[in-house]
Structure 1
Amino acid sequence: MQPAVIFDLDGTLIDSAPDIHAAANAVFAAHGHSFTRAEVQGFVGRGAPNLVARLAEARGLPATGPDFDALLARFLHVYEGAQGLTTLYPGVRPALETLAARGLRLAICTNKPLAPTRAVLRHFGLAGLFPVVIGGDSLAVKKPDPAPLRAALAQAGGGQALFVGDSEVDAETAQAAGLPFLLFTEGYRKTPVAALPHDAAFADFAALPDLVAARVSASAAP
């Protein structure tokens, strides 16, 4: 059985920060607040509830309780249909198609809620490449807890796997799950590359298929 290659989504396959930024501003405008992209992007990675809570705290709004619940529900409603400003990182589609053509099993493990995850995969015509998708609300816990990554691997059929991500959360998740980690350096991380544990790093998706092949060969060596 060929290995599984499990991907984070935001900041790894897609640059969704412009849509997340726009959704946040659309929702918080009703309360008289707005944010820069850098502010919003700084909170991306630990799921929508954490994002909205951190944004609320940054503007002195409640991060728990019924008012927060209503704010989060509104954000999720807006966010589910927000794909117009999101882009694939250069080279993502051909890299994924090459991996799939080589028989590798592809999966998604993201803290993005499942509905907008599936929506954006459909938007870019990638849904057929990912029979397994674990979102931030698929389990009771999110990354960096290793359970979502382990669930993605289990649903993909188990066996050998690699995790591809862009952030501190992804690096921590891979470590906790005991999986090799390939770091995409052009995403949303805040930590220098050298300070993040990883097995290989890449800035161009054209390099990914060969990095995966090299890691698979190294793991298979006696």
Structure 2
Amino acid sequence: MNSNRAGIFTAVSMAGFAVGLVLAGCGPQPGTGPAAASNVTVNDTAEPTPALAFLSAAAPAASAASAVSGSELPASSAKHAAPALKTFTFPDGHISFTYPEAWTVRTVLPPAGLPGVEAIVTDSGGNDLLSLGNGLTAGCAGGPVSRRVFDQVAVPGMAAPDDAEPVFGFVVESYGDGDAYFMGLSDPRSLAQGEGVSSWCNLVSTANGGLSTRVLFNDPAFPNRGAARAWMATDQYVQLKALLMSLAYV
């Protein structure tokens, strides 16, 4: 599958626009591909950063969209040498991240008159893995859910204007009729675990508006929670987590 992204630029009644947050979910939606949007120039230069935990680009990695069991995906291993990385910087010069040199990043503009830029990260096989929206001006909406947190780590490079520290998270939420999986940066309140917690919000505050990050899972993302946990041992998970952890605002 060459594109499994949901449209991130969704008009709302608030000023500006919001991304496909909790209500848009994590699956593909028809008619929202990037082909009809304008492209803008990106900063996409190779820059070695061996301290990050990216694995060898030669190691096979299935798309994040693949709903397969963990046993069918390659397990990550410390023996892999860290490859050279590229650095992407959003056009406004504030937010950047690093990613494996075999991956690519393309940018998409929202509908005319709306603020923000979306960056879509694609692996070497042409699979869209991650969407990041920068310069957003709206917020999140959702209801109470049951949440289980698989992984969470603070991301100090993305400290918000109010000194709040965004958190990387990988979670599953139950809405009563099945599970939904989310992975990206969030306000720490979206990492609360248990019953009746507020649903996932993938928008974090920044000095230039807001940043949305969302791994592009298929629907369903995994056949069960055991498969989701197994995916965490794969190269692909490690690479995506490292990319999200590398996000920095200047």
Would the TM-score normalized by the shorter structure come out above 0.5?
A: no
Q: TM-score range by the shorter chain?
A: under 0.3
TM-score computed with the length of structure 2 as normaliser: 0.24
Of Structure 1 and Structure 2, the greater strand share is in 2
TM-score computed with the length of structure 1 as normaliser: 0.26
